[in-house]
A and B are shown apart, each in its own frame.
Chain A
Amino acid sequence: MTKFEINHNIDAEEGLPDTEMARKFQEAVKKKKTENNPDYKGDNPETSEEVIHDLGVFGVYGELEKKVEEPKPQEHRPFTRKDAEDLTKASFSKDVFEREEKGGVEIKVEQPEIESRIEQSGNFKKEELGKTYQELDRLGKELVDFKKKAKKTKDEEVKKACEKEIELIINKREKLKLQRDSLKEGIEIEKQKKPKKTESGDVKFKYEDAIDKQIKDLGDKLKIAEENTNRVKRNKGTKEQIEERQRQAEVFEKEIEKAKEARVRAIIKSKGIIGFADNKKTIITRSQVQADISENQLETYGKGILTNKSTPEDLKEFIDKEKEIKREQETQKENVLDLTTSKSRQEEINKVWQKEVLNNEKEGEKFDLTTPEGRQKEIERVQQEEAEKLLTAADKQEEKIEEEIKQEKSWIREKVEKTANWYKKQPLWKKVLFSFSCIGVASASATLGGAAGATIAAAAFTGSIGQRALGGLATFITVEGVLKKSAEKGGKERTKAEAARHTVEAAVLGLLVGSGQFARGVKEIADVTGASDLLKNAYEFWIPKSEIKIMPSIKMSPEEFHNRYPGLKYSAGIEDTDIKLKSAIGVEAAQPEAPAAPGQEIKVGTLIIGARGPEGAIIDYFRENPDIAVEKFGCPKELYGPNGEITDLDKFNEWAGGKAHRLWLEDAKEALTKPETLGKLKELGYPQDAEGYAKMMHRIGKGSVELDFKTGKIDLVDTEYLKTRIDTSIDDGGGETDNSGNEPAKEPTGKLGTKETTFNDVQNWLENKAKIDVKKSSWLTEKFLGNYKVGEILDPGFAKPQGVEAYTTAEPEYGSPQWWELKEKAGLQNQAEKILRNIPIGERAGLRNMSLLDFFKKYLAK
């Protein structure tokens, strides 16, 4: 396919008069048509008109008619300001699109930029529009005539000739329609150019508004062209007819694209950002044009010569440089510049600006850049300048903030000043860490960044910066933010799994840095990500063994630590992050062990068996680990609220109690098949059956329950049991003897009768059923039972250490008063729960606030 390029730039067809160019073009079209069609007899006036018309439609006709004064080749002249401006314009107008003319001749037409069309809109005459309409009308009539002729004739040749004419007329009409639209557009733009009177004054014409209008109109035309294509397809038009319509649609599509680019240019112009230079001096800031320029477009402008704003001062400087160049040219003839081509001019522009930039940079002290020392000094000088710039920016911002503070009332001013003074007194490392964490907050997700921001704010007001807020939390949010940002910059959104992984990874990094405050937040993170059990796994991924120190638990000696974490640094004397971590992720009842070693998968929750036995420990665990209870043990989701709180205590107790009991029964069944269990029962004096096993369980001294998340089973480990007692229950009036040697047995005091239940009855019952030595107890008095409510003893914290001891997971020493107290409390709690289980759910309402004494009196009597 032959291509003819008609370019209104001076580079094409250099030296030929424009009329000659037009003639050559027509000849070429004729030649091509002849090649394609042997019957073609030559251009008739109409065809010639068609060609010229094509050019007119696309704005070239006017260019051909112009007499362009070309510079003589190789003539060296100063590169003037006008050249620079022309060059700027020329670079703006690289709007080239291709259009294939009917007959297979492809014409590459340089489309005048949209700005030119707008600028020239005033040249459009209304009369031209009228003529176009008349021509359209005339051709329409011709079209009808030929259609009639084609329908009537029986002569195939005549019919073919008619069809050919019809096709020709249709094409001409379509081109005329384009011209018509173009003229209408010009008239419309001209209208817009006139300032409009409004209440607030004149509204000036804006290019971008005119372009917006064009984009809209082009969109309408595109729609019509697409509809036309579909219509021709539906009517089974010829391949050529369909392709012609498709080409039209493509033209509009390209036009729209160009219009959008023109809009960007219009905005740049309106903001005074036209110019030229090299990238280093770019003044087009994203903030100035970001809303209107896409990233790609900005890149395009950034790479081209139009990367800088040229203010009048810039241009003046540029002209001075031109003079300098000229002087240099005169003195160095071997380096004479050829400024007649766009390429050479472009190169020269770059050279000039590079030179200027270098000169600017070398203002002040000059170094010999040919020596390493000189280069180093130059680097330092540049760094110094950069540092000064950045520090000055911080000072400027501070001044701005100070101004804002001045506007406030004295109370606020004083507080801000106090906080600022406190900050100033902090050591540098804390201040740096603070900034780091703030950058993390800025880039972190809303949930985590918000929480971290709140922590930082609270820390600032309480003067606890660096002790809690910074450290782990700071690193965590920073890493989370950075990971998120990098994932998004990579062009893909984070999947939920990725987000969870990033969060966990970040969390672990934060943990490794070490912060008590951080550990508190881990549960929230786990809730957000649903990844609590991944937390420990992430150690494997994140721990650079030789570098990162890990927080040992309080009781972990260096030896224990090294055994558990071979290769890691032991860091003594730091607060017990391990314990806090477990607490935060809801393994509150777990043993005080350190996090899993690298590579160790978390499959098991280890729960200390307290005074309420294995079932009590399991219930507590479920209470505090909603995720695991739901996901691994089938707890109904609705029993937990959005923050993991229990929504219905009765239902929860019912579920958790039942589940714990079933788990225990299952374990008991299995245990009773093992010789070692049977041996233990025998050794301690219990029957070697389920009942005996249950009794032994009531006399458990210490041990743990391991909850296997995978199998959903439990296992009792490291257990120690007390010897049996000779049970003489209240029912048979017998007594019981403690054979353990640890605790003296209490004599039964009789049955609960139907008469009014007294405190003594309750006491006796507790001593026999709950095995609580009420008389000996320092706390279990009538007054206590009268004051304590049922709801209060059901609280999981009731049978747990209080005060300072609550912050450790170490059990009180066996046999100590604290140990006995906890055991008794757990027994009381256990009995109350058992009674409650037998009470219909409906009846339980209101019992929460009933005193324990009344509760026992009422239900023990039944």
Chain B
Amino acid sequence: MITKEELRQIILKDLKIDSLPIEVQDKILEKLGGNIIKRITLAVLKNLPEEARPEFEKLSEAGDEIKMQEFFRNTIPNFEELTQKTIKETINEYKEIAGIK
């Protein structure tokens, strides 16, 4: 049975930061998360048709995450693929810059 701690270790090992102090691990993860979120935003908005922007604004204001998902699925082709691909590429890019093999 995998414990939460083991799980955490597996993930940290993936980034080769498992031997670092926790505060450093968190700092790296925080920065990486920031980069990912920017890339996702960029990727999604670049693929959002201009005519869909008003609706997007409305949903952003409303904060309804479920409707937002539905909206993206209806307006952006392969939305799910796009997000996963973007996340994956950003992580891989980071690893490459950091020389993590």
Binding site for B on A (CB under 8 A): 285-287, 383, 386-387, 389-391, 393-398, 400-401, 404-405, 408, 411-412, 415-416, 419-420, 423-424, 428, 431-432, 434-436, 438-444, 446, 449-464, 468-469, 475, 478-479, 482, 486, 509, 517, 520, 541-542, 544, 547-548
Report the separation of the CA atoms of residues A743 and B93 in the bound assembly, to the nearest whole angstrom: 72
Cβ–Cβ contact A391 & B28, under 8 A: yes
Interface string of B80-101 (1 = CB under 8 A from A): 1101101110111110111101
- Interface residue SS majority, chain A: helix
Q: Please list 27 pairs of residues, one from A and one from B, whose beta carbons are closer than 8 Å in the complex, sorted by A's number.
A: A390-B17, A390-B20, A395-B31, A397-B90, A408-B42, A419-B37, A423-B34, A432-B33, A436-B8, A438-B32, A438-B90, A439-B91, A441-B83, A441-B87, A446-B84, A450-B84, A454-B80, A457-B69, A457-B79, A457-B83, A462-B63, A462-B64, A462-B68, A475-B7, A478-B11, A482-B10, A482-B11
- With a cutoff of 8 Å between Cβ atoms, the chain A residues found around residue B15 in the complex are 390, 439
- With a cutoff of 8 Å between Cβ atoms, the chain B residues found around residue A464 in the complex are 63, 65
B21 at the interface (CB under 8 A from A): yes
Contacts A287-B96, A393-B97 known; A428 to B26 CB distance under 8 Å?
yes
Cβ–Cβ contact A449 & B84, under 8 A: yes
Cβ–Cβ contact B91 & A438, under 8 A: yes
Report the separation of the CA atoms of residues A450 and B93 in the bound assembly, to the nearest whole angstrom: 19
Cβ–Cβ contact B31 & A434, under 8 A: no
B55 at the interface (CB under 8 A from A): no
Cβ–Cβ contact A394 & B41, under 8 A: no
Question: A-B pairs with the 10 shortest C-beta distances?
Answer: A450-B80, A453-B83, A393-B98, A394-B31, A435-B29, A435-B33, A453-B84, A458-B69, A458-B68, A442-B88
Cβ–Cβ contact A439 & B68, under 8 A: no
Interface string of B1-43 (1 = CB under 8 A from A): 1111001101100111101110010111111111111111110
Cβ–Cβ contact B10 & A431, under 8 A: no
Cβ–Cβ contact A468 & B30, under 8 A: no
Cβ–Cβ contact B98 & A405, under 8 A: no
Report the separation of the CA atoms of residues A452 and B42 in the bound assembly, to the nearest whole angstrom: 18
- How far is the CB of B33 from the nearest CB of chain A, in Å? 4
- How far is the CB of A252 from the nearest CB of chain B, in Å? 36
Contacts A541-B1, A547-B3 known; A412 to B46 CB distance under 8 Å?
yes
Report the separation of the CA atoms of residues A548 and B4 in the bound assembly, to the nearest whole angstrom: 9
Cβ–Cβ contact A442 & B87, under 8 A: yes
Which of A455, A457, A478 is close to B44, meaning CB atoms less than 8 Å apart? A457
- How far is the CB of B90 from the nearest CB of chain A, in Å? 8
Contacts A401-B42, A415-B45, A462-B63 known; A451 to B36 CB distance under 8 Å?
no
- With a cutoff of 8 Å between Cβ atoms, the chain A residues found around residue B7 in the complex are 475, 478-479, 482, 509
For the A-B complex with A431-B34, A482-B10 known, give 18 more contacts whose Cβ atoms are closer than 8 Å. Answer: A383-B21, A390-B15, A390-B16, A390-B28, A391-B31, A424-B34, A428-B26, A431-B30, A434-B33, A435-B29, A450-B80, A451-B80, A457-B83, A458-B66, A461-B59, A479-B2, A486-B10, A520-B66
- With a cutoff of 8 Å between Cβ atoms, the chain B residues found around residue A435 in the complex are 29-30, 32-33, 36
Nearest B residue to A439 by beta-carbon distance?
Answer: B11
Cβ–Cβ contact A455 & B69, under 8 A: yes
Cβ–Cβ contact B1 & A544, under 8 A: yes
Cβ–Cβ contact A397 & B97, under 8 A: yes
- How far is the CB of A206 from the nearest CB of chain B, in Å? 26
- With a cutoff of 8 Å between Cβ atoms, the chain B residues found around residue A482 in the complex are 2, 7, 10-11
- With a cutoff of 8 Å between Cβ atoms, the chain B residues found around residue A442 in the complex are 84, 87-88, 91-92
- How far is the CB of A384 from the nearest CB of chain B, in Å? 9
- With a cutoff of 8 Å between Cβ atoms, the chain A residues found around residue B10 in the complex are 482, 486
- How far is the CB of B73 from the nearest CB of chain A, in Å? 7
Nearest A residue to B93 by beta-carbon distance?
Answer: A397
- How far is the CB of B24 from the nearest CB of chain A, in Å? 4
Most-contacted residue by chain B among A411, A423, A424, A453 (CB, 10 A): A453
- How far is the CB of A363 from the nearest CB of chain B, in Å? 19
- With a cutoff of 8 Å between Cβ atoms, the chain A residues found around residue B86 in the complex are 453
Cβ–Cβ contact B84 & A398, under 8 A: no
Which of B14, B32, B40, B59 is close to A394, meaning CB atoms less than 8 Å apart? B32
Cβ–Cβ contact B83 & A419, under 8 A: no
- How far is the CB of B53 from the nearest CB of chain A, in Å? 7
- With a cutoff of 8 Å between Cβ atoms, the chain B residues found around residue A449 in the complex are 84
Cβ–Cβ contact A462 & B53, under 8 A: no
Which of A408, A432, A452, A547 is close to B30, meaning CB atoms less than 8 Å apart? A432
Cβ–Cβ contact B24 & A387, under 8 A: yes
Cβ–Cβ contact A420 & B37, under 8 A: yes
Report the separation of the CA atoms of residues A405 and B62 in the bound assembly, to the nearest whole angstrom: 25
Report the separation of the CA atoms of residues A520 and B22 in the bound assembly, to the nearest whole angstrom: 33
B60 at the interface (CB under 8 A from A): yes
Which of A396, A398, A469, A478 is close to B34, meaning CB atoms less than 8 Å apart? A398
Report the separation of the CA atoms of residues A81 and B92 in the bound assembly, to the nearest whole angstrom: 38
Cβ–Cβ contact A398 & B35, under 8 A: yes
- With a cutoff of 8 Å between Cβ atoms, the chain B residues found around residue A428 in the complex are 26, 30
Cβ–Cβ contact B11 & A436, under 8 A: yes
Report the separation of the CA atoms of residues A401 and B93 in the bound assembly, to the nearest whole angstrom: 11
- With a cutoff of 8 Å between Cβ atoms, the chain A residues found around residue B24 in the complex are 383, 387, 390-391
Cβ–Cβ contact B94 & A469, under 8 A: no
Report the separation of the CA atoms of residues A449 and B81 in the bound assembly, to the nearest whole angstrom: 8
Report the separation of the CA atoms of residues A485 and B62 in the bound assembly, to the nearest whole angstrom: 38
- How far is the CB of B75 from the nearest CB of chain A, in Å? 12
Most-contacted residue by chain B among A390, A411, A440, A478 (CB, 10 A): A390
- How far is the CB of A499 from the nearest CB of chain B, in Å? 16
- How far is the CB of B74 from the nearest CB of chain A, in Å? 12
Cβ–Cβ contact A468 & B65, under 8 A: yes
- How far is the CB of A364 from the nearest CB of chain B, in Å? 19
Report the separation of the CA atoms of residues A435 and B60 in the bound assembly, to the nearest whole angstrom: 22
Cβ–Cβ contact A438 & B33, under 8 A: yes
- How far is the CB of A773 from the nearest CB of chain B, in Å? 40
Which of A387, A396, A547 is close to B4, meaning CB atoms less than 8 Å apart? A547
Cβ–Cβ contact A394 & B28, under 8 A: yes
Cβ–Cβ contact A432 & B29, under 8 A: yes
Nearest A residue to B25 by beta-carbon distance?
Answer: A432
Cβ–Cβ contact B40 & A544, under 8 A: no
